[in-house]
A and B are shown apart, each in its own frame.
Chain A
Amino acid sequence: MIEVKNISKSFDGKTILHSVSAQFKDGLTNLIIGQSGSGKTVLMKSLVGLHTPDQGEILYDGRDLLKMNNSQKKELRKEIGMLFQGSALFDSETVLGNVMFPLKMFSDMSYEEQLERAHFCIKRVNLVGADDKYPSEISGGMQKRVAIARAIALNPKYLFCDEPNSGLDPKTSILIDELLVDITHEYGITTVINTHDMNSVLGIGENIVFLNKGHLAWTGNKDQVYDSDNETLNDFVFANDLFKKVKKYVNLTNDK
């Protein structure tokens, strides 16, 4: 479990995160939701140590990230996988090279074992026949899959995904979401996902943290979203007509 206590972060005097506290649970898909610019990425990058918060605690199963020395951080990072918004694949490496990269750098495996593990991960994300392609030669959805394969190559305990389905069509988005859920459950990973996509919120939100302008505004799960009377949350989640109708319908059937 990852526990965040009273995290604040400001850039150039402008406060982005206002004393946010949250818990991200093992084996679940934990969602950080909120409008664009609400500070989701900043929160996630603080969680993994790419930003240093001004105050607060970040506990990885009790270990405080902010009090770690460099070698402890390095150890922790081996337990972390991350999927970036733009996939962040290495341009100069092939798909296989990208997935093998963390294995090459951080495992004691022989080359054959690395290759086997990389192929396993690539297969796990349902990507075949693209081993020798370069990131620029494959579609956005495939890039995400490669990035997921790379992130899980070292068997992480914690997986972070920054807007995993931004820039993807709805169908591919759902496939990626499902893949993330499956992987989370299969390996008992603590998965944290940033999203502003309502399909994801209502589809895979097993534990949701709602950020509004850098403030923690609501926590709960996807079923509780429907009967929440938190106005900012409703405004955000049920912004479009379809979702408004869905909510009405769900509430009607629940009342009966």
Chain B
Amino acid sequence: MLKKSLESFGRYCIFMWKCMSVPDKWREFFRRYVQELLRLGIDSIPLVLIVSVFIGAVCTIQMKLNITSPLLPKYAIGMTTREIILLEFSSSILCLILAGKVGSSIASEIGTMRVTEQIDALEIMGVNSANFLVFPKIAAFVSYIPVLVVFCMVTSLFGGYLICIVTGMVSVDVYIYGLQTMFTPWYVWYAIIKSLIFAFIISSVSSFFGYYVEGGALQVGTASTRAVVTSSILILLMDVVCTKVMLQ
């Protein structure tokens, strides 16, 4: 088990080395970069929007229901909701969700290209296929993730705001006051930095699993599942490391 993991890690490093070279044609790179930006980034916005609004709303309800001590001020609800969203939800949880969407799509796309010999066709022409296919994906997803994270923060807090208006369980003014109280800008940066690491994990690990598929459609499916599982585990691991390193 350990030996196998180490072996995979070694192969992953070699793969990354192949990916991270200077593109043959910059024009082609930018064309693909823009395509990936649309497919991996902008297409994820609806999902992020739905998830964020609901989680933001649920968080606010939970805080209201669980903060019952009379010693705690009412604005603690908005404040704790904000901290949860900024510290964990907008980066770690969001990336776990995106690992499912983006990771599986990358792994199955590249895996299909492998089993239908499209990658061989690229290699035959003398194209560095790893660099050509994977580098634009990593670059696009990593560069777009901050947008998704910030978007997620805003919409989650907006979800909480909506629930205040709709149910009136917390007054809107108190909620907004809570959001502003003891705000630490560093937490936003912390979320963005973490998400950059997670985005790199998702895009590179999924590409890796797709790139080395052998067999047919069944194996592409397996690879895409493994890509999602592995990147999720790595995200959780890195989350622990980042929290320890950056918040202490």
Contacts and interface: CB of A to CB of B under 8 A. Distances in A.
A73 B127 CA distance: 11
Given A86-B116, A91-B118, A80 B25 contact: no
Contacts of A102: 125
Interface string A72-92: 011001101110111011111
A77 B28 contact: no
Given A90-B118, A91-B118, A105-B25, A50 B123 contact: yes
A59 B187 CA distance: 62
B24 interface: yes
Nearest to B121: A88
A80 B124 contact: yes
Contacts of A84: 117, 120-121
A48 B124 CA distance: 7
A84 B74 CA distance: 68
Given A74-B126, A78-B126, A104 B121 contact: no
Given A104-B25, A105-B24, A105-B25, A82 B116 contact: no
| Chain A interface, DSSP helix/strand/loop, else mixed | mixed
Interface in B106-136: 112-113, 116-118, 120-121, 123-127
Interface string A41-68: 0000100101000000000000000000
A88 B120 contact: yes
Interface in B71-116: 112-113, 116
A90 B121 CA distance: 9
A105 B117 contact: no
Contacts of B24: 105
B144 to A, nearest CB: 19
A175 B119 CA distance: 27
A82 B28 contact: no
Q: How many interface residues does chain B have, given as a range?
A: 10 to 19
A77 B125 contact: yes
Contacts of A50: 120, 123-124
A77 B120 contact: no
Contacts of B120: 45, 50, 82, 84, 88
Contacts, number: 46
B126 A77 contact: yes
Contacts of B117: 84-86, 88
A16 to B, nearest CB: 15
Interface in B45-63: none
Nearest to A90: B118
Nearest to A85: B117
A24 to B, nearest CB: 16
Contacts of B118: 88-91
Interface in A92-123: 92, 101-102, 104-106
Contacts of A89: 118
A229 to B, nearest CB: 38
Contacts of B121: 82, 84, 88, 90
A90 B25 CA distance: 18
Contacts of A73: 126
Contact of B28 (A45, A80, A91, A104): A104
Contacts of A74: 126
Interface string B26-52: 001000000100000000000000000
17 contacts: A48-B124, A50-B120, A50-B123, A73-B126, A78-B126, A82-B124, A84-B120, A86-B117, A88-B118, A88-B121, A89-B118, A91-B112, A91-B118, A92-B35, A104-B28, A105-B28, A105-B125
Interface of B: 24-25, 28, 35, 112-113, 116-118, 120-121, 123-127
Given A74-B126, A90-B118, 20 more contacts: A48-B124, A50-B120, A78-B125, A80-B124, A81-B124, A82-B124, A84-B117, A84-B121, A85-B117, A86-B116, A88-B116, A88-B117, A88-B118, A88-B121, A90-B121, A91-B113, A92-B35, A101-B125, A105-B24, A106-B125
